[in-house]
Amino acid sequence: MGAAQGSTPHLFACAGDNLLTPFQCNLCIFRNLTGRKPGPHDQLLMACIRQINLDALWGRETATVTANLRSVQHTIKALPQVRLTPPFPALGPFPVEDNMGYRIAVAMVLKSRDPGRYADYQQFKTVRKLRSAFSNVYMASPVGVQSLRTVGGDKAKHYLNDCPTHSLWFERFTRGCLSRMGQIVKQDRAVSLELMHALSSRLEEEWGRAVSSSDKGLVAGVGAMAIIAFCGSFRGPEMFAIDLHGLRKYLQDTLVAGSKEYVIIPLLGRFKNELGNQYHLTPLVAQTKLGLKVKQWVQRLVEAHALEGRTRGGTFTEQDGSVRYTWYEREILDRFQTIQQRHPDIIPADVQVLEEYGLSRSFCRGATSEARARGTNAADIDVANRWRAFEEAKGHRPRLAMRDHYADISLLIPALLRFSDNL
C-alpha cells in the first residue's frame, strides 16, 4: 500500500495505542462498511482496512503512547487504594456505521497504489486530495450545511461540523499514513545565468534562420517566455497572466528611470485570494548588465502577434484563451537538452533535464539564486517578488485601473530595476 520509510515498525501496533486512537478490529470495520461478513473476494478491502488501522495507530509517536499507557496504569493501580473506581470510559462498542471516514481512507490507500511521477506509488500529497474533495462535497450538502457551526468574530472564525474526515481518528490516520509513506520532494533545478545566456544565443540563431511569420512567432514566444520568467522571477503559471494589451500600451513609450530604460510587464487575472480582475505591473530593465535583452524579445513577440491580428488577450495564450503550458515547457526543455549536449559544463551530462527542470519554478529559483550570488540586496529581492504578497492579502487590496497601479509602483521602480539589472 505505497512504499514505506522504515516499513517494519509500521507493520505492528504498540501496547496502549488504543488508549490514544479510536480502534475497532478489521472485521468490525468491514461489517460497518459492507453490512456483511468478508468473503473470498474481499482480500484487498481487508488488506486496506488492516493498513488503515495500523496507520491510524501510528498517528502518535511510540514514546507518547508508552507514557500515556504508564499514566493510565498508574491511575488504575492508585485509585483502589482509597476505594475509588478508575473513571475511564468503555472503549467500545462503536456504532455500526462509518462515522470516522474509513471509506475515504480506503480510497486514499487504493490511490497510493497507482504509479507516481517519481516512484512506483502516488505521493501522500496527491492521495490526501481525496480527503479535501470529500470534505468539500460534504460541506456543500444539506447535511453538511445543517451541521455547520462557527465560533469567532468577523476577522477570525473556527468552523465546527460533523464531517467524518474531520474526526480525531481520521487525523490520526493521515499522520500515520504520512509517517509510513514519507514524501519525495523534488524541487525544480534552478536555471543559471550561464544557461540563460546559452539559451538566448541559441534562440538568436533560430531567429536569424526563421523566415515565415509562424516560425518567427514560435521563436519569439519561447524567447520572451524564458527571458521574462527569468528576469522577472516569475513562476510558470504566472506567465500566462501577462496581458497583451497592457504590454503593447507600455511599449509605445520609452520608459526611463535614471539612466536605465525599462519595460513594464502587466499581469492581469483572478489571482488566488483576490477578488475580481487585478493588474500587477512589474518593470524590467530593457537590457541587463550582462546582456539579456528583455525589451527586444518582448517587442518581437508583440510584433508577431500583430501580424496575426492579435492586440488583446493573453500574451502567451491562444486566441481562444487556452493555455499551452506543456508546449512551452517542452520547447524550452528541448533546447536545454541541446545545450547540455554541446555544453556539459553548463548542464552536466548526468542531469535528467526533463525531470529536473520545469517551467513552474526553475526560472524563478534561478533568478533569485543568481541575484543573491551577485550581491543584490535582500530587500530588493523581496520587492521584486512583492506582488505575490498581494495574493495573501485576502482581497483587501483595492482593485485599481492600470494607470493607478503604475502610479502605485512608481516609487519602487529603482528597487525593482536593480533586481533584473543584476541578472
Per-residue pLDDT tens digits for 281-323:
888 999 998 899 999 999 999 999 998 888 888 899 887 778 8
Identify which has the larger pLDDT, 154 or 256.
Answer: 256
End position of a domain, from candidates 150, 181, 212: 181
Within 10 angstroms of residue 390's Cβ, the number of other Cβ atoms is 16
Angle between helices 193-209 and 362-373 (to 10 degrees): 120
Grid cell for residue 38: 468478508
Residues 13 and 180: their CA atoms lie apart, in Å, by 13
How far is the C-alpha of 280 from the C-alpha of 282, rounded, in Å?
Answer: 7
Structural domain contains residue 186: no
For 423, half-sphere exposure in the C-beta direction (CA atoms, 13 angstrom radius) is 36
State whether 394 and 246 are in the same domain. Answer: yes
Q: Is the distance from CB of 358 to CB of 236 less than 8 angstroms?
A: yes
Would you state the pLDDT for residue 395?
40
Question: Is the residue at 188 inside a domain?
Answer: no
Q: Lowest mean pLDDT: which of 64-78, 90-104, 169-183, 260-274?
A: 260-274
Q: Examine residue 43 and state whether it is found in any structural domain, yes or no.
A: yes
Q: Does one domain contain both 135 and 233?
A: no
Which of 134, 158, 181 marks a domain boundary? Answer: 181
State which amino acid sits at residue 198: A
Q: Tell me: pLDDT of 228 over 80.
A: yes
Q: Please check whether residue 276 lies inside any domain of the structure.
A: yes
Task: Give the separation between CA 46 and CA 33, rounded to whole angstroms.
Answer: 11
What digits encode the pLDDT tens for the residues 117-149? 767 788 888 899 999 999 999 999 999 888 888
Amino acid at 119: A
Band (81; pLDDT cuts 50, 70, 90): very high
Q: Is residue 342 part of a domain?
A: yes
Residues 266 and 279: beta-carbon distance below 8 Å: yes
Q: Are residue 78 and residue 21 in the same domain, yes or no?
A: yes
Q: Indicate the residue among 181, 212, 227 that finishes a domain.
A: 181
Whether 130 and 256 share a structural domain: no
- Band of the pLDDT at 390, cuts 50, 70, 90? very low
What's the confidence (pLDDT) of residue 144?
A: 87
Q: Which of 18-32, 214-228, 328-342, 404-418 has the lowest mean pLDDT?
A: 404-418
Residues making up the chain, counted from first to last? 423
pLDDT tens per residue across span 156-199: 677 788 899 999 999 999 999 988 887 766 678 899 999 999 99
Nearest to 10 by CA among 43, 48, 57, 46: 57
Output the CA torsion sign for 262, 268, 270, 276.
positive
Query: Based on the structure, what is the number of domains in the chain?
Result: 2
Q: How far apart are CA 62 and CA 58, in angstroms?
A: 8
Which range of residues forms the domain containing residue 162?
8-181
Looking at the structure, do residues 177 and 252 belong to the same domain, yes or no?
no
Going by their DSSP bridges, the two strands 157-160 and 255-257 should be labelled as unpaired
The β-bridge relationship of strands 157-160 and 149-152 is: antiparallel
| Local confidence band at 68 (pLDDT 50, 70, 90 cut-offs) | very high
**Judgement on whether residues 51 and 125 belong to the same structural domain of the protein:** yes
| Whether residue 105 is found in the same domain as residue 198 | no
369-386 pLDDT, tens per residue? 888 888 887 777 776 665
pTM of the model: 0.63
Q: Are residues 272 and 408 in the same domain?
A: yes
Q: Are residues 225 and 321 in the same domain?
A: yes
123 C-beta neighbours (distance < 10 Å), count: 20
The answer to whether the CB of 221 falls within 8 A of the CB of 328 is yes
Domain membership of residue 81 (yes or no) is: yes
pLDDT of 105: 95
Do 335 and 312 reside in the same domain of the chain?
yes
Q: Is residue 1 part of a domain?
A: no
Q: Given this model, what pLDDT does residue 115 score?
A: 85
In a domain, 3, yes or no: no
**Nearest alpha-carbon partner for 108 in 92, 87, 123:** 123
Tell me the C-alpha distance between 227 and 199, whole Å.
9
| Most confident stretch, 151-160, 322-331, 410-419 | 322-331
Q: Are residues 60 and 159 in the same domain?
A: yes
Q: Domain of 294: which CATH number?
A: 1.10.443
Verify that 137 and 267 share a domain, yes or no: no
